[in-house]
Amino acid sequence: MKVGSGIIQGRRAEAALAAHAVEAAMTRARLTHAQAVLLYLSADFAHAPQAAITAAARAAHCTQVAGCTAAGVFSDEDWVLDAPAAAALVLGDGLSLRPSTADADPLLTFAAPNALDLHWLRRGGARIGGVSGDASGQGPYTVWSGSRLSQAGRCELALTGADLRVGVSQGIRPLSAPASIGHVEGHNVREVGGEAALSSLIRELPLSERSPERVPTHQLLAGIPYGAPERAVEEGRFHLLPLISANPDDRSVTVAGRLEAGLDLFWARRLPLAAAQDMGAMLDRLGQERADKPRFGLVFPCMGRGPSFYGGVDRDLQILKERFPRMPFAGFYGNGEIAHQDGANRLLQYSVVLGLGYDVAAPASLPDVLA
């Protein structure tokens, strides 16, 4: 397979940026025409992206151009926020993007926030992708496939010609061990591990944050492990729910999801160092599945990760480049991440979803794929 990436930044949202990004990617891939192009444009293009999409299709000499607008875009060469930019990943020599079928797997998925339908999201094969958007989270949003804007605000395409291995970095530091939920009412968790939920949370925080009005709910999450309980947290087998509020009146904690009594729950916090370590651990897990090197990467991080989270650098991308120095990849900072977890397609937050594309035929000497 031949894959190449390109990224171009400019002063204005001009169609030429998309064409130049594709041309740079074609040169790196040593292609004269592509089978498909993943094109990501900065939010500057959101009002009228069609000219840029058409320019990309002409530069690639193909009609299968898919992608969306986003708050920021990147490739293995650079990342761009707050400026007009285009990033492209061109696919050739056996790789292709095709209309989805009922059994398509993997299913590359892009959607605007106002087009998300959880019933649609859960249908079909294992999905990987992200949610379009801008830094405000308000819009406008645009998604395209087949070199045309999607009127439905979403698209799904089957990726063929590669063995795609998918990992998720949820980037948190556990604050407590999993404990059973004793009492819950709707979104309000009242009891965890035999004590009031707020008490169990506050005990894990620094002294300066233990008064209810100082609890940093914007950084805290509830983790729900799944599968075998042994090493579930260490292996990244958990769902995360953001905290909405800490309630001193009844000592409950409100989370962004409905839970049931009897489930295990642990408290967690978003921290840059923990996120970087988790990104490395996720790559370690993926590295156990194939001994050969991946040929390309599909990367979908939350806009809550990236340079603003890491103090001006994108440590997630740095870690990926350190692990696979010459691997082309491209992606965008989105309003949500899509991946297949715990037997279902799910919408994630504050995560990095990564797909590593390998040759379809694995070396005969490799052991069986690890779960």
Main-chain phi, psi angles of 115, to 5 degrees:
-110, 0
Q: Assign 369 a pLDDT band (cuts: 50, 70, 90).
A: very low
In the chain the first and final C-alpha atoms are separated, in Å, by: 26
Provide mean pLDDT across the span 2-24: 98
Q: Is the peptide bond before 106 cis (omega within 30 degrees of 0)?
A: yes
Q: 0.75 exceeded by the pTM?
A: yes
Q: Assign 367 a pLDDT band (cuts: 50, 70, 90).
A: very low
Note the pLDDT tens digit of each residue in 241-299. Answer: 999 999 999 999 999 999 999 999 999 999 999 999 999 999 999 989 998 999 999 99
Q: Assign 140 a pLDDT band (cuts: 50, 70, 90).
A: confident
pLDDT at 137: 61
pLDDT at 364: 41
pLDDT at 189: 98
pLDDT averaged over every residue in the chain:
93
C-alpha span between 99 and 126 (Å, rounded): 15
Extract the tokens encoding 139. 């819009």
pLDDT at 135: 64
C-alpha span between 294 and 288 (Å, rounded): 12
> Does the pLDDT value for residue 121 go beyond 70?
yes
pLDDT at 138: 67
> Does the pLDDT value for residue 144 go beyond 60?
yes
Note the pLDDT tens digit of each residue in 288-328. Answer: 999 899 999 999 999 999 999 999 999 999 999 999 999 99
The letter for the amino acid at 90 is V
Provide mean pLDDT across the span 106-110: 94
Greater model confidence, 123 or 262: 262
Note the pLDDT tens digit of each residue in 196-213. Answer: 999 999 999 999 999 988
Which of 166, 323, 132, 155 lies closest to 236 in space, CA to CA? 166
pLDDT at 206: 96
C-alpha span between 98 and 175 (Å, rounded): 44
Q: Could you tell me if 190 and 197 are in contact, meaning their C-beta atoms sit under 8 angstroms apart?
A: yes
> Does the pLDDT value for residue 126 go beyond 50?
yes
Q: Could you tell me if 73 and 331 are in contact, meaning their C-beta atoms sit under 8 angstroms apart?
A: yes
Q: Could you tell me if 223 and 239 are in contact, meaning their C-beta atoms sit under 8 angstroms apart?
A: yes
The 3-state secondary structure of the chain reads CEEEEEEEECCCCCHHHHHHHHHHHHHHHCCCCCCEEEEEEEHHHCCCCHHHHHHHHHHHCCCCEEEEEECEEEECCCEEECCCEEEEEEEECCCEEEECCCCCCCEEEEECHHHCCHHHHHCCCCEEEEECCCCCCCCCCCEEECCEECCCCEEEEEEECCEEEEEEECCEEECCCCEEEEEEECCEEEEECCEEHHHHHHCCCCHHHCCHHHCCHHHEEEEEECCCCCCCCCCCCEEEEEEEEEECCCCEEEECCCCCCCCEEEEEEECHHHHHHHHHHHHHHHHCCCCCCCCEEEEEEECCCCCCCCCCCCHHHHHHHHHCCCCCEEEEEECCEEEEECCEEEEECCCEEEEEEECCCCCCCCCCCCC
Q: Could you tell me if 131 and 338 are in contact, meaning their C-beta atoms sit under 8 angstroms apart?
A: yes
The letter for the amino acid at 44 is D
Provide mean pLDDT across the span 171-189: 96
> Does the pLDDT value for residue 92 go beyond 90?
yes
The Cβ of residue 47 has, within 10 Å, a number of other Cβ atoms equal to 10
Greater model confidence, 105 or 224: 224
Q: Assign 102 a pLDDT band (cuts: 50, 70, 90).
A: low
C-alpha span between 282 and 217 (Å, rounded): 26
pLDDT at 248: 95
pLDDT at 368: 41
Q: Assign 98 a pLDDT band (cuts: 50, 70, 90).
A: very high
